[in-house]
A and B are shown apart, each in its own frame.
Chain A
Amino acid sequence: MLILIPQDAATTFRASGAWGRLSLRISHPDDLAVVGGISEGGGSIISVDPPPPAPRLLAGCDSRPTGYWYQANSELHALWYLLRARRGTSMKLDAFKDAVPSGFKTPGDGGYVAITHAPGVKDAFPESGLPDLVAWHVTRAGFQPIEASAEPETTGIRQLGGHWPVKELQNTRIMLVGAGSIGSATAHALAGYGVGHLTLVDPDRLDWHNLVRHTSARRHIGRHKVTALAEELAALRPDTTVSALALDVIEHADHIRALLADTHLVVCTADGVAPRRVTGHLARRAGLTAVLACVLQDGALGEILRLRPWPQHGCLTCRRRTLAEAGGLDPELALDAGYGTGTRHRPMTAVGSDLHLVAQLAAKTAVATVLQRAGHPDQRLPGEHALLGLRRQPDWAPPFDLGHTAELRWLPATPPRSGCPTCEAP
């Protein structure tokens, strides 16, 4: 069995006296229990259930008086560690009794669960990592350790503080245009990196055919993708604040433009040429870097474009024209007429995981861009345009002639072209 000790319960143990009674919510099928109530000595048991959203067990299992908790000496916790390593080993009851200064209760036939709190364990065994709260099964024959896990004071991205630039990323605001297959995975990846604020922009609703590639679950069918995604991220990554905007980047360009004043970087994972162009244009006018992610050739190639608003770096259109003139890219004028009959989407043969691989690279590119600008030399990227082989095919024109699946090629930026309405000053 695993016994979970939520934050409030752990705080109560640490602040209480010598012993008390214990209530657990137990799920026998899961072989799992959560501390639900604690008493001080022989007094009444007070609930220590955490506030909503409550863990599943709290809703499904009643809280039952199950055992006792004791304050114990530190050596008992060292014993807990050693007995766990020697599975199935138990100790005679006297050893437990001796380690518990007061309140010890002799077990009945079935025994009971005990939780011990050793306040001096960190001083007694520095650097050992021994927990100050552990659990036991106490019977007449002896006592054995039980797996226990106390909720740490810090959870979420702040756990990585000191190893990862949490503060910079928590203060970062990224707009994600396109919450489809790549976009949904990008949103999860950005939140996983610890980006503090995400603004999701996409007018589409989650449809049946999306489920094979999207990160959202079937229960969200019919809802706006941004709404479902925001809800899922709120549950999964509470360190990231998400704004969901069911807007079209072209139709609502003025609205988007206003939001960019409060944005540090834009990621575009939208389908089709026009939304990507518009996003790149708006970002450049706002002086922001845009990261564009997509797959080409029906999902055979992943592509990440980093468009920086710098004088020597051309916009999406300039780069596409340069590639087309070099013979590397077919402009695909009929792109917007694909996807069966009449929608602007093209039939997509990429599997979700390939798209999510591209999404991870897009998020990495975005985060690295933010961190490099903040002065982290270990986050410098090798170029401005990444190509990722998802299903290698022979004889593609350079620079798309990747030799192997999973090969990653980085290319430099191309300069703006004369007369470009995006790159030249308005």
Chain B
Amino acid sequence: MGIDDAFDAFQKTVNEDIGKTRLARERRDLFKTALLSEPDVVETFGSGSLSRSTQLKPIHDVDVVIVYDPDEHPEWGNDGPSAQDALEYVRTQVNRLLSQTNGTHANEVRHTLVRNHAVKCFLDDPEDPEAFTVDVMAALRQEDGSLLIPEKLNTRWVPANPEYLIGQVADHQRDWPHFRPLVRVLKQWRLTAPVQGGIKSLVMEVLALNCMPRSGNRSQALKTFFTAAAVRVHEGVWDPAGLCGQIQPDLDHAGLSDAFADAADLAERACVAAAEGDTDNALRLWQKIFGDDFPAPAAPAKPASLITGTPALITPRPIKDAPQG
């Protein structure tokens, strides 16, 4: 199996099943359509990783942003109780439109919870740990195109611009078709990285935006990414739109940098091995980075020699005596 074939095969293990992705999109679109029919709603759009096509499986939730007409809600946008009021309003509206018992638009929502920024709408049994939810966020459009969204715990409205990240990811993808698939690969990689406290998936996505090249093959791109990210993570990972600050202030920056550096070492060796035609060794090195789901090289053919059990002889590459001056 060649390197490209191996990446293709590995990608299939990372990607969510197309049927489940389609179902998630249908459920999201149901909310968008239902709420857009309301007279005080100006626009609706999907947010989160599904809208950027960088979602990791399993898809537990999708995000929907509902932009309201400020003239219909003149008190919204001001710090104070209006933040929670807005979320409660959304909850009531969703229940009226989509409640399983008496929804006027459809009967899908079994339960709703008001969270800090959004209303979490359960479409499955809330007790099910795999329950699928749609997170509905209220928003007001500002003059510069960004949004104001309610924050219940701090009773205030905070700026955000999820469309900026959607646009950035789409732009990168237009330049280089491996981008979105590799973001999913990196999000998968983070789950096994030896980093204290875990890594938010958005951290990986923003680092990918900043460190992934816009051309070349996947091996070279990952080598570049791991090398650059090992440096950039020390600088903090910030909201690309410049509105929401650091994405994970408590991130173990040093630990993640070390993990990236280790991966960069292996990726560099894998690229060298591949360039020298040692595909098997390259596959083994990529497997060390991504785990057993990355295809292993085929088992070696039975040796013709009667001598068996000889360990693989790995010798350092000799330097050519070709002086330059």
- The verdict on A377 contacting B234 (CB below 8 Å), with A311-B253, A312-B254 known, is no
B239 at the binding interface (Cβ < 8 Å): no
A310 at the binding interface (Cβ < 8 Å): yes
Closest to A373 in B: B231
- The verdict on A377 contacting B268 (CB below 8 Å), with A311-B253, A312-B254 known, is yes
B117 to chain A, nearest CB (A): 27
* Residues in B neighbouring A311, C-beta threshold 8 A: 234, 253
A377 and B265 within 8 A (CB): yes
- The verdict on A308 contacting B268 (CB below 8 Å), with A375-B224, A380-B227 known, is no
* Residues in A neighbouring B234, C-beta threshold 8 A: 308, 310-312
**New A-B pairs, 6, CB < 8 Å, besides A374-B224, A378-B268, A380-B227:** A310-B235, A312-B254, A372-B231, A375-B224, A375-B225, A376-B224
Contact of B227 among A309, A310, A372 (CB under 8 A): A372
6 inter-chain pairs at a CB distance below 8 angstroms, sorted by A residue, are A312-B234, A375-B227, A376-B224, A378-B268, A380-B227, A380-B264
B223 at the binding interface (Cβ < 8 Å): yes
A375 and B223 within 8 A (CB): yes
- Which 9 pairs show the lowest CB-CB distances between chains A and B? A375-B224, A375-B228, A310-B234, A377-B268, A377-B227, A373-B231, A375-B227, A377-B264, A372-B231
Complex interface bits, B239-266 against A, C-beta within 8 A gives 1, otherwise 0: 0000000000000011000000100110
* Residues in A neighbouring B253, C-beta threshold 8 A: 310-311
A287 at the binding interface (Cβ < 8 Å): yes
B254 and A376 within 8 A (CB): no
B81 at the binding interface (Cβ < 8 Å): no
Closest to B261 in A: A380
Which of A287, A310, A378 counts the most chain B CB atoms within 10 A? A310
Q: Is the interface of B mostly helix, strand, loop or mixed?
A: helix
Which of B225, B226, B228, B261 counts the most chain A CB atoms within 10 A? B228
Complex interface bits, B38-76 against A, C-beta within 8 A gives 1, otherwise 0: 000000000000000000000000000000000000000
Q: In residues 93-129 of chain B, which contact A (Cβ within 8 Å)? A: none
Which of B211, B231, B264 counts the most chain A CB atoms within 10 A? B231
How many residues of B sit at the interface, in one of the four size bands? 10 to 19
Binding site for B on A (CB under 8 A): 287, 308-312, 372-378, 380
Contact of B267 among A372, A376, A377 (CB under 8 A): A377
B228 and A374 within 8 A (CB): yes
CA distance in complex: A312, B264 (Å): 21
* Residues in B neighbouring A373, C-beta threshold 8 A: 228, 231-232
Complex interface bits, B142-181 against A, C-beta within 8 A gives 1, otherwise 0: 0000000000000000000000000000000000000000
Closest to A309 in B: B235
Closest to A380 in B: B227
CA distance in complex: A287, B268 (Å): 28
B213 at the binding interface (Cβ < 8 Å): yes
* Residues in A neighbouring B211, C-beta threshold 8 A: 375
Closest to A289 in B: B231
Closest to B225 in A: A375
Closest to B271 in A: A377
Closest to B267 in A: A377
B266 to chain A, nearest CB (A): 10
CA distance in complex: A336, B157 (Å): 55
* Residues in A neighbouring B223, C-beta threshold 8 A: 375, 377
A218 to chain B, nearest CB (A): 29
* Residues in A neighbouring B261, C-beta threshold 8 A: 380
* Residues in B neighbouring A287, C-beta threshold 8 A: 235
Closest to B257 in A: A310
Closest to A376 in B: B227
